[in-house]
Amino acid sequence: MKINKILLTGDDGYKSLGTRLLINSLAEKYDLTIVGTKSQQSGVGGKMSLKTGFDWGEDTVDDIKAYWIDGTPADAAEFAAIYFKEPFDLIISGINWGANLGTTIFSSGTIGAVLRGLSAQVASQALAISWDLPADMYLMNHDEQQLLAEYIQYPGKIISPLLDLLFENQLWGANLININLPQKMSSKVKITTLAPNAREIYDYSTDPFSTNDLGIRHFSYKGGRLFNPQVDPKTDVMAITDGCISVSPCKATLDDLRIFQSIKQKTTLLPIA
């Protein structure tokens, strides 16, 4: 698998610690370009700024050319699709500060970036990489003044050998690989499926409903990830719970080809008068 040009993106901001860790790990081997959000955009999924458009500009991050987008991760992918005349070999979104597990990934800006990038043919393959950190770090604001030193050993040093493994195996034929790194250092990789039920991943026991003195009702997310889940051992959730790096082969489309193949020759006429 020949990989040279890699687009780095994500939802924590174009100067995020996760992006800078990727630069630190990959810059000597690959031609890197950053197209990322100007600010923290976690949890926006595939949202796009269709009504307003967005401002953008140029910068460098640790000597790598960067383009910042004052919008969403999907906006960043759309910008890359139009701005660059040639496709990249690979998109990497992350390293996200916080896990992206199971079917909850549909609300992830980290995933939103690669889904839009793949659909717009920015590249034909993509990786989403996330790190299972405490919930209070999910929405952390990142800036270039923050020091990388405490993250170089882990997760920094795991990135290059992990990518070597993925490339040696041709990404197992998948066009999207969702990767979750356990909170503590690990070198054990497990191929997993996505956990199907969000209630088996996150703690819903804390009441999210409140009412203020004016009678205005409010809902706020308070549940963190469950660390003793009772889920299928083949899932991404159990892998990182057991201290393994979870590698989940995914597809970037929602169509079910198995069902399509079984009914594609059938035509039905509606009884319209």
Task: Record the tokens describing residue 196, joined without a space.
Answer: 């199907």
pLDDT given at position 273? 67
pLDDT given at position 33? 98
Whole-prediction pTM: 0.91
- Any idea what DSSP says for residue 86? S
Which value, in Å, is the radius of gyration of the alpha carbons in the chain?
20
Query: All domains of the chain, ordered by start, with CATH?
Result: 5-195+232-261 (3.40.1210.10)
Paired with 32 in beta bridges are 6
Cα–Cα distance measured from residue 218 to residue 233, given in angstroms and rounded to the nearest whole number: 36
Task: Record the tokens describing residue 207, joined without a space.
Answer: 């009441």
pLDDT digits (tens, 9 = 90+) for 84-110: 999 999 999 999 999 999 988 989 999
In sequence order, which ranges of 8-55 are alpha helices (DSSP H)? 17-26
pLDDT digits (tens, 9 = 90+) for 152-192: 999 999 999 999 999 999 999 999 999 999 999 999 999 99
pLDDT given at position 272? 82
pLDDT given at position 201? 75
pLDDT given at position 141? 79
The values of phi and psi at residue 130, to 5°, are: -130, 155
Q: Could you say which residues of the chain have pLDDT below 50?
A: none
pLDDT given at position 135? 74
